[in-house]
Chain A
């Protein structure tokens, strides 16, 4: 891991004079790792560069670009974060034309922790670290083998821990609406815990993550109750791929399927009546 860190640091040193800043992770005073904007005026900060734990850098890029639309930035991204940026750019949240991507390949252990199937960036020209094969997402695969009753019992159990802190929504780089349905009393009732079933909060959030979730697992990481939220996002991502041939976060030119009309042969794959 040290090798990858040194290599990344050298790469950032190299690129720093050409750009206004580089977004990467930095160790804070109390060993907390957080996204940080490295600039050439304070290049010594790079001594505190970090690569793990994973923190949501795409959001940092969005915030900085909002305040400084002209800034030329570079950003260190993992596979998932790069996919996230691709989706965000399709929804006009970031401007990738003004950004240099520095790829960071995850190690096999990191991929294991995230149950990640695609742990390396594909768009970035430079990729630091060795590309590893993705792991098999056992948790999600095992979930699909459950019966309907077992699935219901599984989520009843998991959602009973939910304190509706909105942490999963707040951390999600893909959740950027100005007006959030989850705050509307019409759809999500307030002040009831444990969540009444079926949980409007989680179902609506899952539905809104269709063709947007890139399986970065930030929501699970931040959840104080440890709910394996990404299971259904990942399953829906598989369905979207199967029905509409849309691979979330892969291709910059492919438009999200909800924004387009049905194409030849698509209707047959949805399983709707003829």
Chain B
């Protein structure tokens, strides 16, 4: 069984705090996700996601505040507008759009964070490694 490389972009105000909450509650979750803390999920440009794939990531997670809870007001609206298009683009280029995962995790949702990470890791683990697909 191969261990997938997953990069998780977590927004500083909600999802990253959510990860802290999961840690404080001593919840166990897959260690495949390498976390990158960003000020806002709206900071994640399509270029960043594409380069992450280009560098060999098997999956990319973008987690942000729930719609309406953004620290900056409407930062995550940008995420919600941009990422579905990027997913479509990946699909049109023959890359499984499921490799890009978007969800909303608040600072209190430690359990949701652990579940989301586990589920996504399992899903990616069942896929062919990205580098092999691209060969």
Contact = CB atoms under 8 A, between A and B. Distances in A.
Smallest CB-CB A-B distances: 6 pairs: A152-B94, A151-B94, A270-B84, A207-B46, A261-B77, A261-B74
A155 interface: yes
Contact of A148 (B53, B82, B83, B96): B96
B99 to A, nearest CB: 11
Given A154-B94, A198-B53, A258-B81, A239 B133 contact: no
User: Of residues B47, B77, B86, which shows the largest number of chain A Cβ atoms within 10 Å of its Cβ?
Assistant: B47
B86 A267 contact: no
User: Of residues B51, B67, B92, which shows the largest number of chain A Cβ atoms within 10 Å of its Cβ?
Assistant: B92
Given A152-B95, A272-B102, A262 B85 contact: no
Main secondary structure on B side of the interface with A: helix
B80 interface: yes
Interface of A: 143, 148-156, 181, 186-187, 196-198, 200, 202-204, 206-207, 210, 231-232, 235-236, 239-240, 243-244, 257-258, 261-262, 267, 270-273
Contact of A272 (B47, B50, B83): B83
B134 A240 contact: no
Contacts of B94: 148-156
B35 interface: no
Interface in B52-77: 53-54, 67, 74, 77
A97 B88 CA distance: 36
B38 to A, nearest CB: 16
B93 A151 contact: yes
